[in-house]
Amino acid sequence: MAEPGRAVILVSGGLDSSTVLAMAKAAGYACYTLSFDYGQRHRAELVAAERVSAMLGDIEHKVVKLNLDSIGGSALTDTAIAVPEEATEGIPVTYVPARNTVFLSIALGWAEVLGASDIFIGVNAVDYSGYPDCRPEYIAAFETMANLATKAGVEGHPLTIHTPLMKLGKGEIIKAGVALGVDYSLTVSCYQATEQGLACGKCDSCRLRRQGFLDAGLPDPTRYV
C-alpha cells in the first residue's frame, strides 16, 4: 500500500474540521489547508482556521475569497435573515446554497495542482443540521464526478474524498480530537460569533457543540459572550 502523500483539508476553523485535520495529520498526510472567505457573517472562523492549521502543522494554508453573499439565500450570508436560536424543522435557513459543492470544486482544483489524491472534509450525518450536502450519498456522487472531470482521474490517478466524521456523534468527535491534541479553545463554531470569536451560545451550531462536550464528559472551552 502506498504511503500517504499530499492532501487538501477543508478547514473552517470549527470543531469538526479541526478534528479532521488532526486525523489526516496523524495518518501521515502532508496537509495543505483550505479555507473560504465567502461573505459569511461569522468571519472570526477565518482567524480560527489559520490558528488551528498552524497549531496542527500544515504545510500551507490558503484562503480563497468568494462572494456567496452576492446571491444570499442563507442566514450565514445575508444579514437580513436572522440566525435562528430555536430548533427548527426541515433544512434550516443557515444552509448555504451549493456551499460544499463550490468548496469541494476548488479543493479539487488545488489538489490537481499539488498532485494530491486526497481531500478531507468534516461533514457529518449524525450530529448535523440537516444540510443536504453533508450526506454520504452526496460525497459519493461528488467523488464520482471528480474522477470524471479531472485530468488526474482520466489519466488513472483517482481522487478520494475522505469523511472520517461521517458516522460519529459530536461527543465521539471531541474525544477523538482531544486524543490527537486538538485545542478546541482555538476553534470557533458559532454562526454569529463576534469579531473576537465569542460564541452566542444559542444558535444550532452552539447547541450541538455544547452537547458534544457534555456527551464527551469534558469541560467546554468555548468562549461565550
Residue 128 confidence (pLDDT): 63
Q: Which helix (H) or strand (E) holds 52?
A: helix 44-56
pLDDT digits (tens, 9 = 90+) for 36-56: 999 999 899 999 999 999 999
pLDDT digits (tens, 9 = 90+) for 101-134: 999 999 999 999 999 999 999 999 886 668 999 9
* Cβ atoms of 42 and 188 closer than 8 Å: yes
User: Which regions of the chain are under pLDDT 50?
Assistant: 1
Residue 129 confidence (pLDDT): 67
Is residue 95 in some structural domain?
yes
* Cβ atoms of 6 and 34 closer than 8 Å: no
The domain that contains 77 carries what CATH number?
3.40.50.620
Q: For residue 80, what are the domain limits?
A: 6-216
3-state secondary structure of 6: strand
Query: What is the b/e burial string over 102-132, where b = at least 16 CB atoms within 10 angstroms of the residue's CB?
Result: bbbebbbebbbebebbbbbbbbbbebbbebe
Quickly count: other Cβ atoms within 10 Å of residue 84's Cβ. 16
pTM assigned to the model = 0.95
Is residue 223 in some structural domain?
no
What is the number of domains present in the chain? 1
Residue 144 confidence (pLDDT): 98
Calpha distance 63→73 (Å, rounded):
23
First-residue to last-residue Cα distance in the chain: 49
Is residue 225 in some structural domain?
no
Is residue 224 in some structural domain?
no
Write down how long the chain is.
225
Quickly count: other Cβ atoms within 10 Å of residue 142's Cβ. 19
197: its cell numbers:
470569536
The vertex-143 CA angle with 108 and 28, nearest 5°, equals 65
